[in-house]
């Protein structure tokens, strides 16, 4: 596998799992324009080359023990005018969309502060695992800003409108336990080692299933999550029907009948 050289992110492949680490530990992995640009490029490279690389899932995490991502880079933001802020916001929004629509599952492994743009980046992943000591927050209003990387949209969809408003309007941080109770986090772990091991294990578990079926169900959930049920069902029907055109579906059903494990190819 060959990928571009990046300065602010690390990429490592462990068997069928790709681990992306935001690597600005001294700045608590704050999202500078460079981080956003490099992450965008890396995801494009993964999408373009994954037929060769064979990744079955990605883990997004932060370097060190203290932070996943402590938000957009506040220092950089102080130098922005209206135009550059809009460009920055668009870069971040497009990146969250790119994560959300990756053809393979993406788990956010949150190990410490997930604030502002960091919380938003985690929410664009398929689900969030976190260490018990992690802290979540959308403190933008304290800076005279609003969440700009999709937070006003995704948080309400994940935890409900009223909880999202309380969270955003107060700008108060919450514990990982509270985030778990709200449904923002799906599993908690005592330390980073356990967190990473569990995320790897989950992707390895998913890797036994049909990649095409995972992709189709991911898109059906993503596209249907906030539209009328009738329209969501139409969308589900289309993805369901598409499954019948895949070799994975033929293999999975045949394997069941032949009482053997399926050998999925992702086609």
155 contributes a contact to ligand DAK by CB under 6 A: no
Task: Annotate 192-206 with b (16+ C-beta within 10 A) or e (fewer).
Answer: beebbebbbebbeeb
Of 50 and 124, CB closest to ligand DAK: 124
255 contributes a contact to ligand DAK by CB under 6 A: no
Of 82 and 229, CB closest to ligand DAK: 82
Q: What are the helix (H) ranges across 127-189? A: 151-159, 161-170, 176-181
150 contributes a contact to ligand DAK by CB under 6 A: no
Beta-bridge partner residues of 72: 31
32 three-state secondary structure: coil
| Chain mean position to CA 151 | 13
145 contributes a contact to ligand DAK by CB under 6 A: yes
- Strand locations in the chain (E): 9-14, 17-22, 57-62, 67-69, 106-110, 113-115, 127-131, 135-137, 174-175, 187-189
Is 193 a residue of the active site? no
Contact region for ligand DAK (CB under 6 A) — 88-96, 126-134, 184-192, 244-252?
88-96
Q: Which of 12, 140, 181, 228 is catalytic?
A: 140
254 contributes a contact to ligand DAK by CB under 6 A: no
Query: Strand 57-62's sheet: what is its strand order?
Result: 9-14, 17-22, 57-62, 106-110, 127-131, 187-189
Of 75 and 231, CB closest to ligand DAK: 75
Q: Rounded to the nearest whole angstrom, what is the least distance from the CB of residue 158 to ligand DAK in the complex?
A: 17
167 contributes a contact to ligand DAK by CB under 6 A: no
Q: Rounded to the nearest whole angstrom, what is the least distance from the CB of residue 254 to ligand DAK in the complex?
A: 49
Angstrom distance (rounded) from CA 173 to CA 139: 7
62 contributes a contact to ligand DAK by CB under 6 A: no
Angstrom distance (rounded) from CA 231 to CA 141: 35
127 three-state secondary structure: strand
Is 140 a residue of the active site? yes
Q: Choose, by CB under 6 A, the member of 113, 129, 136, 264 that binds ligand DAK.
A: 113
Report which of 58, 55, 53 is spatially closest to residue 39, judged by C-alpha positions: 58
Angstrom distance (rounded) from CA 154 to CA 60: 18
Of 18 and 117, CB closest to ligand DAK: 117
Contact region for ligand DAK (CB under 6 A) — 100-108, 111-119, 203-211, 239-247?
111-119
Q: Which residues are catalytic?
A: 120, 140
Residues that bind ligand DAK (CB under 6 A): 27-28, 30, 70-75, 85, 88-89, 92, 113, 115-117, 139-140, 143, 145, 147-149
């Amino acid at each position: 596998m060959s990928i571009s050289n990046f300065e602010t992110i690390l990429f490592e492949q462990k068997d069928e799992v790709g681990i992306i680490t935001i690597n600005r530990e001294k700045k608590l992995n704050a999202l500078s324009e460079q981080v956003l640009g490099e992450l965008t490029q890396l995801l494009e490279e993964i999408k373009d080359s994954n037929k060769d690389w064979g990744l079955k899932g990605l883990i997004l995490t932060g370097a060190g023990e203290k932070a996943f991502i402590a938000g957009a880079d506040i220092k950089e933001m102080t130098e922005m005018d209206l135009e550059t802020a809009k460009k920055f916001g668009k870069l971040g929004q497009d990146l969250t969309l790119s994560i959300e629509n990756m053809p393979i599952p993406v788990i956010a492994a949150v190990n410490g502060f997930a604030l502002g743009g960091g919380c938003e980046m985690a929410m664009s992943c398929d689900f969030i695992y976190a260490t018990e000591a992690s802290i979540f927050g959308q403190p933008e209003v304290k800076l005279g800003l609003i969440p700009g990387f999709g937070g006003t949209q995704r948080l309400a969809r994940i935890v409900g409108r009223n909880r999202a408003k309380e969270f955003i309007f107060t700008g108060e941080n919450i514990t990982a336990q509270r985030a778990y109770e709200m449904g923002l986090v799906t599993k908690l772990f005592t330390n980073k080692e356990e967190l990473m091991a569990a995320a790897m294990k989950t992707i390895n578990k998913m890797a036994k299933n049909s990649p095409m079926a995972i992709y189709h169900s991911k898109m059906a959930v993503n596209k249907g999550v906030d539209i009328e049920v009738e329209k969501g069902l139409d969308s589900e029907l289309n993805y369901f029907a598409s499954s019948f055109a895949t070799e994975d579906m033929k293999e999975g059903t045949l394997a069941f009948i032949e009482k053997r494990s399926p050998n999925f190819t992702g086609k």
